[in-house]
Structure 1
Amino acid sequence: MTTADAEVRTVLEECAAATRLSRRDEILKQNSANLVIFDVLPPMKYESAESYRRSWDEWQPDAEGEAVFNLENLTITAGNDAAFAHSFIRCGGTLPDGRTFQDLVRATFCLRKVDGSWVVEHQHVSKPYVHS
């Protein structure tokens, strides 16, 4: 693993840890203000880190304790000033009524090195649609 790969892994793992602990101010800390996110939930496209932050209460379930948000099979390719990564994200938790939930989605991340730090410029989260 290169130094750049390790730095990108740290950025993504810190975001995942902040999500598990519902530390909202830290979740998008290493994201570009001009972040574009394609997500599985409506509105499906967010055109800034701030718009994504504002939507948090609309889709983030209130989990009791630490939620599940694990990057699985994270693969990173990083150069001097650009990187991309992909993984599965296993998410879930326990609701206040004791019911549990779990999901598995795919994610792709595009990062750029700005003033010596990696920032997420684009994130794409998807889930296969299965016809019944």
Structure 2
Amino acid sequence: MREFEKRILSELEEAGQENFPTLLNTIVTPTGNASERNEFQTALTNLLQNGFIKIGLERDANRRLKNMSDEDSFALLTRITEHLVFKTQSGHWTGGARPWPEVVYTEMGKVEGRKILQEFGYQWWRQKD
């Protein structure tokens, strides 16, 4: 499993779900370099393919997030530039088109996230920066 994937799962283990920009800003020290968004896209694609996450975009009448199909999620990930924009003046990634997509861990993702936290600790990458 790649570093970005581990970071995402460890953060989701804490929150359960998180929107794209908040999650990306948490797992990197944002610089606006396109590689941040590209690595995030690759990590989400891999996690989705392996059953660790789902992606939600809309909410039901009770305001619960509805998971998209994997097919729709993969299609959304190919358009990630519509959903992540870097704001130079504030120095962070923000959402583009509303609603902002949310990443939700599956039961498998939750278990893996716990293992990662036990092995590496909370936000271990911050000590590297």
Task: Answer yes or no: same fold by TM over 0.5.
Answer: no
Q: Give the TM bin, normalised by the shorter chain.
A: 0.3 to 0.5
TM-score of the aligned structures, taking structure 2 as reference length: 0.34
Bigger Rg, which one: 1
Greater share of strand residues, 1 or 2?
1
